A and B are shown apart, each in its own frame.
Chain A
Amino acid sequence: MDVITIFISAIFVNNILLAQFLGNCPYLGCSREKSVAIGMGGAVVFVTIMATLFTWLMQHFVLDTFDLGYLQTIVFIVVIAGLVQFVEMFLKKMMPSLYSALGIYLPLITTNCAVMGVAILVERKGYTLITSLLYACGYSLGFLLALLLMAGVRERLDTCRIPKMMAGTPIALVMAGLMSLAFMAFKGMAQ
C-alpha cells in the first residue's frame, strides 16, 4: 500500500477521533482554544510515533520471542508511561522552549487512549515497522486536525447564543457528531 493511501485512510477515512472514538477526553477538554489544541495535538503526534516505535519493537523482539503475548496490555502501558516520563525529562533538559510550550500536556498523554489505541491497533493488524510508523503518523495527524477544527468551531461558539442546557459539553458533542458526519463523506476513498 502506498504512502498516500495510508495517509488518506488514517487521517480522513478512519479518523481516530471521529470514526474510532479514541482520545475523546482531550478532544472535549483541550478544544476550547486553538493554541491549547495545537500544543496538545503536537504532543500527541510526537508521543504516538515514539510509542508505536517502541511498542512494536517490544512486541516483536521481547513478547513474541519469549511467547508472552498475554502480557501485551501491561507491557504497552508501562512502555508508554515510561516513554512519556523520559520525553518529559529529555525536553526539559535539551529543549526548554518546547518543554514549556507542551508543559502540562505531556504527563496527561499517558492516559490518552489514542496513544495506546494506535499501538494496539497496528499490532493487531500485523503491519511491518515502517507501515506501523506511517499509520501512527497519519492517525496522530488526524487527531491534530480534528482537535484543531473543533477548537476553531468552539471559539466561534463562545460568541453565539446557545440554549443554557446545551452549553458546554453537550453542544461540543453534537458539533463532534456533525463533524463526524462530514468525515463520513471520505468513506470509499480508501479502506
Chain B
Amino acid sequence: MAVVKEFTKGLWKEMPPFRLVLGLCPTLAVTTSAENGLGMGAAVIFVLTLSNMLVSMMRHIIPKTVRIACFIVIAASLVVSLELLMQAYAYGLYEQLGIFVPLIVVNCIILGRAEAFAAKHGVADSIADGLGIGIGFTMALTFLGSLRELLGNGTLFGVQVFGDAFQPFTIMVKAPGAFICLGLILAGMNCINRWQSSRSEGEPVSVGCQACGACGGCAGCKPAQLKPMESKAKEG
C-alpha cells in the first residue's frame, strides 16, 4: 500500500510544477503546444524514474559529502542515454525540444527527488515516487501546453478546435504567454487549496518554495527564507 501512496501523491498532492514550484524552465519553454509538453514530460518520466531507482540502489555506497555530485553524474548519464535514444527513435521531438533535452540534467525536480526522497527510501518506493512525480509533471506540462496551444493557435494536438471566426491570441504561444498562463494557473491552484482547506479545516497547503523544503537543486529557496520581508512591508 505504501508503494501506491508514494505513486499517487505525485499525481495531485505534490504535482510539480503546480503544487511544488520546481522545474520551471522546461515548463515555460517547451509548452508552446500540447504535443511538446507531453514529449518533455515523457523524457522527464524516463530520467526521473531511473535516476530515483539508481540513487536508491546506491544510497548506502555514496558518501554523504559528495552526494550531490554523484546524483548529478547519475542524472547526466541517464540524460546522455535519453539523448541517444531520442536521436534514434524520436528525432522530430528531439529537434523541437532542442537545448532543453540536455538541460534535464539541471532540472530541479530530478535533483530534488534524489535528495529528498530516493536517498532515504527503498528501491520500490523510489521508483513509485519517480513515476508518480514524473506523470504528474507530464500532466501539468500537457495541460499548460494544451491551454497555450488552444488560445494561441486555436488547435489542440494539431487539430483545429475553434471555427474560422476564432482570432488566436498569438501572444500565448510566445514568451510572455508562458509566464502569464503559469501565473494564472498557480493563482487558481492557490484558490483551490484555500477552498479545500477551509472545507476540511485541515492545515492549509502552501504552494511555492516553502512547500518543497528539500530542493538541493532549486537555487531559489534558501536565500529567500533567510530574511523575512514582513518588517520591510510594514515600513512602507
Contacts and interface: CB of A to CB of B under 8 A. Distances in A.
Interface of A: 18-26, 28-30, 32-33, 36, 40, 70-74, 76-78, 81, 104-105, 108-113, 116-117, 120-121, 124, 155, 158-159, 163-174, 176-178, 180-181, 184
A40 B106 contact: no
B105 A166 contact: no
Given A30-B223, A108-B219, A173-B179, 12 more contacts: A22-B103, A25-B22, A29-B219, A36-B223, A74-B79, A74-B80, A116-B102, A164-B194, A167-B190, A168-B208, A170-B190, A174-B183
Contacts of A116: 102-103, 105-106
A45 to B, nearest CB: 15
B24 A28 contact: yes
Contacts of A33: 227, 229
Residue with the greatest number of chain A CB neighbours at <10 A, chosen from B29, B223, B229: B223
A18 B186 CA distance: 19
Given A21-B25, A21-B175, A173-B179, A165 B187 contact: yes
Contacts of A111: 72, 106, 108, 111, 216-219
A117 B99 contact: yes
Contact of A70 (B69, B80, B227): B80
Given A19-B175, A77-B72, A113-B106, A165 B24 contact: no
B21 interface: yes
A77 B72 CA distance: 8
Interface in B220-234: 220-224, 227, 229, 232-233
Contact of B175 (A28, A104, A184): A184
Interface in B173-222: 174-180, 182-184, 186-188, 190-191, 194, 207-209, 216-222
B219 A30 contact: yes
Contacts of B178: 21, 177
A24 to B, nearest CB: 4
Interface string B142-158: 00000000000000000
Given A77-B105, A110-B72, A177 B223 contact: no
Contacts of A159: 233, 236
B171 interface: yes
Interface of B: 21-22, 24-25, 28-29, 68-69, 72-73, 76-77, 79-80, 83-84, 99, 102-103, 105-108, 111, 171, 174-180, 182-184, 186-188, 190-191, 194, 207-209, 216-224, 227, 229, 232-233, 236
A28 B220 contact: yes
10 A-B pairs closest in CB distance: A29-B220, A173-B183, A159-B236, A177-B179, A177-B180, A21-B29, A108-B219, A174-B183, A170-B187, A74-B76
B170 to A, nearest CB: 11
Contacts of B219: 25-26, 29-30, 40, 105, 108-109, 111-112
A138 B99 CA distance: 19
A170 B189 CA distance: 10
B83 A174 contact: no
B214 to A, nearest CB: 13
A25 B218 contact: yes
Nearest to B217: A111
